[in-house]
Structure 1
Amino acid sequence: MHVHHLLNNNSIANKFIAQLRDTSIQNDRMRFRRNIERLGEILSYELSKKLNYSSEEITSPLGISKVSVPKDEIVICSILRAGLPLHTGILNYFDDAENSFISAYRHHPNDDKEFEIKVEYLASPSIEGKTLVLADPMLATGRSFVNVMHALKEMGTPKEIHLVAVIGAEEGLKLLDDEFPPHTHLWIAAIDKELDSRGYIVPGLGDAGDLCFGNKKQH
């Protein structure tokens, strides 16, 4: 797997990550969602450099210009519900992409640190031969990405796979490297070293879905 770590180089993305983590700013849900959206835009710009392009002749009022434009058929698949602002950021740049949505959540059957990832809803076009952009802001254990990819198999085999995340843990990255094809690309803003006893990223930022949309009733 090819890992593209945004914070390896200083950019305005650092500011957005800092605000997402900051407990004094997190209570502003609109700002939290917007920062995830903006990081989705930045990550999409970087991702766009790896797409396939073809030359087209564009007619302007004063003549003809040759421009290289993306030719990939893109499907953006986001994991509900925390993935919605990230999805919006990606769609802002790939505005003619098809869209896919899937639910994946942690289920703690014994109310302890053990959990399973449940996938219960999928609405998706065919991904056969297309470029799949799979988005989830938090890459903790990596099991959500893996389970969602298994669920998408009935929709076809994509030509290319790009994973997009805001913050991840090294353990999750290792699982993705083991489970996804070697030519898969991961676009991620920040990578933290560890998970806590319940599988949450440390220092991370907390529950992205709750911070975006409010607390949910626990399953």
Structure 2
Amino acid sequence: MHIHHLSEQNSVLNTFLSEMRNIDIQKDSMRFRRNIERIGEILGYEMSKSFNFKVATIQTPLGDCVINEIDNNIVLCSILRAGVPLHNGLLNYFDTAENAFISAYRHHKHEPESFEIIVEYLACPSLENKTLILADPMLATGQSMLATFEALQPFGTPKEVHLACIIGAQEGVDFVENHFDKNTHLWIAAIDEKLNNKGYIIPGLGDAGDLAFGEKLQQ
């Protein structure tokens, strides 16, 4: 797997990450969502450098202009619900992309420390020979990302796969590296050191879905 750890180089990305982690600033849910979206834009920009380009000639008011344009057929798939603002950020840059949405959540059977990933809702176009971008802000155990990818398999075989995340635990990064094809790209803003006994990223930032959209009742 090709791992692109973006915060290893200093940029404005680190400011957005800091605000998302800060226990006082993250209470502003609108700002939290906007920071997810802005990081999605940065991930999309960096990702675009790895895409294929074609030469095109366009007409300006004063003449012809030769320019390189992206030549990938992109399908952007986000994991609900925290993935919505990340999806928007990526879509701001890949505005002609087709779109897919999937629900994947942790179902705790008996003990808080054990869970399974449940996939219920899925809407997806054909993925055959296209560029698939799987977007999920938090890469904790990596199981949601894998379950999502497996659920998408009936829709065709992508030409290439890109995973877009904001914060991941090293354990989750290792998991997807071991379970996805070696040519898969992981674009991630920050990699944290570990998970706690409930599978949450440490130091992380808390529950991204709750911070973005409000707390939910547990079932």
The CA deviation string for residues 85-119 of structure 1, in whole angstroms up to 9 with x for no partner, is 00000000000000000000011111421011100
The CA deviation string for residues 124-160 of structure 1, in whole angstroms up to 9 with x for no partner, is 0011100000000000000000000000001000000
What is the one-letter code of the residue matched to 2:125? P
What is the one-letter code of the residue matched to 2:108? H
After superposition, where does 1:5-44 map in structure 2 within 5 Å? 5-44=5-44
Shift of 1:30: 0.2
Taking structure 1 as the reference length, what is the TM-score of the superposition? Answer: 0.99
Q: Please state whether the residue corresponding to 1:95 is helix, strand or coil.
A: coil
Q: Please state whether the residue corresponding to 2:217 is helix, strand or coil.
A: coil
Cα root mean square deviation, aligned? 0.6
- Which segments of 5 or more consecutive residues in structure 1 lack a partner in the other structure? none
Partner of 1:58: 58
Partner of 2:145: 145
Partner of 1:83: 83
Partner of 2:136: 136
Structure 1's consecutive aligned runs of 4 or more residues displaced over 3 angstroms after TM superposition are none
Distance in structure 1 (CA, Å) of the matches to 2:109 and 2:218 = 11
Taking structure 2 as the reference length, what is the TM-score of the superposition? Answer: 0.99
Distance in structure 2 (CA, Å) of the matches to 1:110 and 1:85 = 32
Q: Tell me, yes or no, if structure 1 residue 203 matches structure 2 residue 215.
A: no
Q: Please state whether the residue corresponding to 1:26 is helix, strand or coil.
A: helix
Shift of 1:27: 1.1
- Report percent identity of matched pairs: 59
Distance in structure 1 (CA, Å) of the matches to 2:217 and 2:55 = 51
Distance in structure 2 (CA, Å) of the matches to 1:188 and 1:114 = 26
Q: Give the length in aligned residue pairs.
A: 219
Shift of 1:26: 1.2
Partner of 1:116: 116
What is the one-letter code of the residue matched to 1:78? S
What is the one-letter code of the residue matched to 1:36? I
Q: Please state whether the residue corresponding to 1:209 is helix, strand or coil.
A: helix
Distance in structure 1 (CA, Å) of the matches to 2:129 and 2:210 = 35
Distance in structure 1 (CA, Å) of the matches to 2:99 and 2:111 = 34
Q: Please state whether the residue corresponding to 2:211 is helix, strand or coil.
A: helix
Distance in structure 2 (CA, Å) of the matches to 1:3 and 1:193 = 16
